[in-house]
A and B are shown apart, each in its own frame.
Chain A
Amino acid sequence: DIQMTQSPSTLSASVGDRVTITCRASQSITRWLAWYQQKPGKAPNLLIYKASSLESGVPSRFSGSGSGTEFTLTISSLQPDDFATYYCQQYNSNPLTFGGGTKVEIK
């Protein structure tokens, strides 16, 4: 199975900050990576697919990059609505696997 490791596990930031979350795969997944946002008590919401493609309706302050084994999710200017937990997911091979999550907290 492909292991997905996110860092950091928790991140404290302020409104307006630029935030970067890293996701590393245990082997190459080319660009088959998605990012989700999950708020407390809610289902995950797709933000980005194919490493850098923004899902329809997602604000442009979210961006993704990377290929192979290292990927990043960047929020260019953190907004109050962005405090949540973020997960990466590889879909290069089965079983599909998720990262452990990064919680973005208010500093």
Chain B
Amino acid sequence: EVQLMQSGTEVKKPGESLKISCKGSGYSFSTYWIAWVRQMPGKGLELMGVIYPGDSDTRYTPSFQGQVTISADKSINTAYLQWSSLRASDTAIYYCARRAETYEYFVTWGQGTLVTVSS
């Protein structure tokens, strides 16, 4: 069974750094693009960026470029989303999702990681 398992809930203060993870299982992790999607409280879905774990080719949606870093370690089947300095506006649920093999829709999703940033 294809699964994406995300790291747990985080509560952070503004200015702190954070790295959350998404571990894939049940498929060849290196050969499928992984996306990170933000959902702010009560709002819709926003694609942040995607990464191809096989060679770490990474593409960001322009509004998220420079705000976060997406990375992956194919040796442990894990993708990451990282912030160097959190803001209150980063409070959201973050989902990782596996793209379809050929086309850019998302077949399998992680359970989500809630990040709360508050002083």
Contacts and interface: CB of A to CB of B under 8 A. Distances in A.
Interface residues of B, number: 19
A43 B39 CA distance: 10
A42 B111 CA distance: 7
Interface residues of A, number: 22
B61 A46 contact: no
B103 A50 contact: yes
A43 B103 contact: no
A98 B44 contact: yes
Interface in A47-89: 49-50, 55, 87, 89
Interface of B: 44-47, 59, 61-62, 95, 97, 100, 103-107, 109-112
A23 interface: no
Contacts of B100: 49
A66 B43 CA distance: 26
B44 A46 contact: no
20 contacts: A32-B103, A34-B105, A34-B106, A36-B106, A43-B109, A44-B45, A44-B95, A44-B106, A46-B106, A46-B107, A49-B103, A87-B45, A91-B105, A95-B61, A95-B62, A96-B47, A96-B61, A96-B104, A98-B44, A98-B46
B109 A97 contact: no
A95 B60 CA distance: 8
Contacts of A42: 111
A45 interface: yes
Nearest to A43: B109
A36 B107 CA distance: 10
